[in-house]
């Protein structure tokens, strides 16, 4: 299909104030959702609107450059760096300043450690690997969490121009067909992942690609076929185009409003539900600037102003709200405080736009400017992370006020403390901790980070019984089942471990200690049956493990999960912020009847299943850590927990005698 307009008519995209007004709708829906989540259930779809707008505008630039033969990769990427990097740098610095005063020391260090992922737009993959999803409380308390969407966009900007350039060179006539094919593939992957791996679907470029591309397809259709609406929808007649434009605008706006008010935060998003806000956004853009809603609602001065500052407003609003939410132990700020935070977000966004973004846009895009902006952002993010990691004096300033039991828990083990020659000769490489307390132990302690953390206490004990201790963070014990996120090395390590056990008759007792409830909550896969859900996998492979170890004549000691705290309880009970807005009257314990479903399910299943095996003994930590149905955070003036599920140095000291007595009888 040939282009029907002259080069002069499309050499530069025409500014449309109504699109800035659409940005205002997108950012306001996201901001209100974050500030008042019960008000707009689907306010998070504002991100999907942003995707469509970005795809449309970026495609306009690329397609017009390709059509004229003037597209420059350097110019394209340099403009992105010039617009994006300065604002990100300012927001990171501002967040560091706020975090120093209002976050707990470990949260502040996490903030800085997270900053390189946010700064260089891989936050979406970090969240996919390290969290259970966008809707988790743990995710919602991360101040740079919102950079996941910028990560998707910037990754799109990296690959999309190159793909378009190559497709254009191969066949400009089939270019539209190629775009449509990419759209169909991405949408299909989105539907598949939403059904089978919802967290990956939410955060990934390949499942969000179609949302940006749908705007690109519209941009290309407008470029090559300016009168497409008249020919596709009705014969050209006077007033017909205006009627079509208003119809498209109204339908599009209705789809977006419906999405904002009625799509809820569930695992089935994006999936087909993401079609509602994205198609709505495309229809509004397609309606053109003369449609009534576009001209009088989206293009009004207030909407355009908010749209112009939408990028820095998106960057600023979440760190500000989230840092204060952390300060309040997870509670969403309310009343005058939330109003103040929103006003501060708008003020900082305006200042960033006026004194950083606009002046930087006026500068000529040169290699030296790009390099300077890159280096500055690198120093602010990665440089800060490395400085805190390697400067003990700075770390001491940050850690001021943290209880000693927590500091002991968070100190990393020296390499010589992590492994020894005897254990490595037996089990090889790959475990975070691999220790042997004698030359030929008959007992093996195996687990994930709970076992890893327990070794931090055990290494200080003068007299230990003979055992191997193997700990690997997020290590799922079973041979033919694994966490989908960790299916690579951890799965291979599990198989290797079981091959060693099957050929080690001298090991007659195995102690299993892991965070069992966590694995039930994750996306598990079984090589034996891919159709099983996590509960079915969990139960079947436990039974198979007991059967295998029974056949190998091994005693099994299963350490049941220690009680798990609500995610924010520890924040309420340990005041280490320099400025705290929390009230003083906090009950620092959790009712045993209010434990998470996964804790209760795994506990009940293991108690019931262990009764069928004469070689299996359960070690119940509740007896030591809870009294009268209450599980305290503090005991005898000592802190029991390092976080919501890992026991502290003192906590492990309390439960070790239970394990020792069960396994060694003393």
Q: Residue 268 has which token pair?
A: 């089935």
What per-residue confidence (pLDDT) applies to 569?
85
Query: φ, ψ for residue 45 (rounded to 5)?
Result: -70, -5
Q: Which residue has the higher pLDDT, 231 or 178?
A: 178
Residue 354's SS3 state is: helix
Residue range 245-296, pLDDT digits in tens: 899 999 999 999 999 999 887 668 898 999 999 999 999 999 999 899 999 9
105 and 398 in contact (C-beta within 8 Å)?
yes
Nearest-angstrom CA–CA distance, 153 and 55: 9
Residue range 350-379, pLDDT digits in tens: 999 999 999 988 888 789 999 999 999 999
Residue 445's SS3 state is: strand
Is residue 11's pLDDT more than 60?
no
388 and 112 in contact (C-beta within 8 Å)?
yes
For the CA atoms of the chain, what is the radius of gyration? 28
What per-residue confidence (pLDDT) applies to 323?
96
- Which pLDDT band, with edges at 50, 70 and 90, does 9 fall under? very low
Is residue 488's pLDDT more than 70?
no
Residue range 242-251, pLDDT digits in tens: 788 899 999 9
Helix (H) or strand (E) holding 497: helix 489-502
315 and 91 in contact (C-beta within 8 Å)?
yes
Range list of β-strands (E), 459-536: 468-471, 481-483, 509-513, 524-526
What per-residue confidence (pLDDT) applies to 10?
43
68 and 7 in contact (C-beta within 8 Å)?
yes
Strand 433-436 to 468-471 pairing: antiparallel
DSSP per-residue codes, 497-548: HHHHHHT-TT--EEEEE--HHHHHHS-EEESS-TT--HHHHHHHHHHHHHHH
Residue range 105-135, pLDDT digits in tens: 888 999 999 999 999 999 999 998 877 655 5
Q: What is the DSSP letter of 616?
A: E
Q: Which residue has the higher pLDDT, 301 or 199?
A: 301
Nearest-angstrom CA–CA distance, 17 and 441: 74
Delimiting residues of CATH 3.40.50.1110 domain(s) in the chain: 406-564+595-630+649-664
What does the pLDDT average to over 573-593? 82
What per-residue confidence (pLDDT) applies to 12?
59
Tokens 């034996």 — which residue? 528
Q: Residue 102 has which token pair?
A: 């209002």
**pTM, to two decimals:** 0.80
Residue among 403, 9, 57, 75 at smallest CA distance from 219: 57
Residue 444's SS3 state is: strand
What does the pLDDT average to over 160-182? 90
- Which pLDDT band, with edges at 50, 70 and 90, does 409 fall under? low
What per-residue confidence (pLDDT) applies to 236?
45
Is residue 13's pLDDT more than 70?
no
Residue among 176, 178, 208 at smallest CA distance from 191: 208
- Which pLDDT band, with edges at 50, 70 and 90, does 550 fall under? very high
Q: What percent of the chain has pLDDT over 70?
A: 92
What does the pLDDT average to over 397-406? 72
Q: Mean of the per-residue pLDDT values for the chain?
A: 88
| Residues whose CB falls within 8 Å of the CB of residue 356, separated by 6 or more in sequence, listed in order | 86, 87, 90, 312
Helix (H) or strand (E) holding 56: helix 46-68
Q: Which residue has the higher pLDDT, 105 or 480?
A: 105
Q: What is the DSSP letter of 356?
A: I
What per-residue confidence (pLDDT) applies to 2?
44
Residue range 36-84, pLDDT digits in tens: 988 888 999 999 999 999 999 999 999 999 988 888 999 999 999 999 9
What per-residue confidence (pLDDT) applies to 549?
94
Residue 320's SS3 state is: helix
What per-residue confidence (pLDDT) applies to 375?
95
406-564+595-630+649-664 folds as Rossmann fold (3.40.50)
What does the pLDDT average to over 192-214? 92
398 and 382 in contact (C-beta within 8 Å)?
no
Helix (H) or strand (E) holding 75: helix 73-102
Is residue 5's pLDDT more than 50?
no
What per-residue confidence (pLDDT) applies to 585?
74
Is residue 493's pLDDT more than 90?
no
467 and 423 in contact (C-beta within 8 Å)?
no
């Amino acid at each position: 299909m040939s282009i029907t307009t002259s080069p002069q008519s499309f050499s530069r995209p025409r500014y449309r104030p109504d699109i800035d007004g659409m940005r205002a709708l997108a950012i306001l829906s996201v901001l209100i959702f974050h500030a008042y989540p019960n008000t707009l259930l689907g306010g998070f779809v504002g991100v999907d609107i942003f995707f469509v707008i970005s795809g449309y505008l970026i495609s306009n630039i690329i397609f017009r450059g390709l059509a004229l033969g003037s597209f420059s990769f350097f110019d394209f990427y340099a403009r992105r760096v010039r617009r994006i990097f300065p604002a990100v740098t300012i927001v990171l610095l501002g967040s560091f300043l706020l975090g120093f005063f209002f976050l707990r020391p470990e949260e502040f260090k996490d903030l800085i450690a997270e900053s390189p992922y946010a700064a260089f737009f891989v936050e979406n993959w970090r969240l996919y690997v390290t969290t259970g999803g966008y809707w988790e409380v743990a995710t919602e308390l991360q101040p740079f969490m919102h950079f996941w969407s910028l990560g998707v966009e910037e990754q799109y900007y990296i690959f999309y121009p190159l793909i378009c350039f190559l497709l254009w060179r191969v066949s400009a006539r089939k270019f539209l067909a190629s775009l449509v094919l990419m759209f169909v593939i991405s949408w299909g992957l989105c539907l598949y992942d939403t059904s089978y791996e919802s967290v990956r679907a939410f955060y990934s470029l390949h499942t969000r690609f179609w949302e940006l591309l749908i705007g690109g397809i519209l941009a290309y259709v407008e470029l090559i076929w300016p009168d497409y609406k008249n020919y596709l929808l009705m014969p050209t007649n006077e007033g017909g185009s205006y009627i079509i434009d208003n119809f498209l605008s109204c339908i599009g706006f209705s789809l977006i409003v419906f999405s904002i008010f009625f799509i809820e935060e569930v695992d089935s998003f994006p999936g087909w539900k993401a079609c509602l806000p994205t198609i709505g956004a495309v229809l509004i853009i397609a309606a053109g600037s003369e449609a009534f809603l576009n001209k009088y609602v989206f293009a009004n001065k207030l909407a355009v102003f908010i749209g112009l500052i939408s990028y820095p407003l998106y960057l600023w609003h979440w760190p500000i709200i989230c840092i204060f939410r952390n300060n309040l132990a997870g509670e969403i700020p309310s009343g005058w405080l939330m109003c103040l935070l929103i006003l501060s977000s708008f003020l900082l966004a305006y200042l960033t736009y006026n004194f950083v973004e606009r002046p930087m846009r006026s500068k000529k895009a040169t290699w030296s400017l790009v390099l300077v902006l890159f280096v500055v952002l690198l120093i602010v993010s990665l440089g800060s992370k490395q400085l805190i990691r390697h400067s003990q004096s700075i770390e001491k300033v940050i850690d001021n006020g943290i209880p000693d039991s927590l500091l002991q828990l968070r100190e990393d083990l020296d390499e010589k403390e992590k492994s020894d020659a005897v254990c490595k000769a037996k089990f090889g490489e790959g475990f975070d901790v691999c220790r042997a307390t004698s030359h030929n132990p008959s007992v093996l302690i195996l687990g994930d980070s709970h076992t890893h953390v327990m070794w931090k206490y055990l290494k200080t004990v003068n007299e230990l019984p003979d055992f191997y201790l193997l700990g690997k963070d997020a290590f799922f014990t079973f041979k033919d089942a694994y966490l989908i996120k960790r299916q690579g090395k951890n799965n291979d390590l599990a198989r290797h471990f079981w091959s060693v056990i099957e050929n080690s008759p001298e090991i007659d007792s195995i102690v299993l200690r892991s965070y069992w409830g966590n694995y039930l909550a994750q996306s598990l896969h079984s090589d034996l049956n891919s159709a099983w859900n996590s509960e079915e996998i969990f139960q079947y492979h436990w039974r198979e493990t007991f059967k295998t170890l029974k056949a190998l004549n091994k005693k099994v000691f299963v350490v049941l999960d220690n009680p798990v705290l609500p995610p924010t309880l520890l924040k309420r009970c340990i005041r280490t912020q320099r400025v705290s807005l929390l009230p003083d009257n906090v009950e620092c314990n959790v009712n045993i009847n209010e434990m998470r479903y996964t804790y209760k399910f795994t506990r009940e299943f293991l108690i019931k299943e262990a009764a069928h095996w004469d070689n299996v003994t359960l070690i119940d930590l509740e007896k030591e850590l809870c009294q009268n149905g209450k599980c305290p955070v503090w005991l005898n003036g000592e802190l029991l927990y390092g976080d919501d599920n890992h026991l502290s140095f003192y906590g492990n000291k309390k439960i070790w005698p239970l394990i020792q007595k069960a396994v060694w009888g003393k």
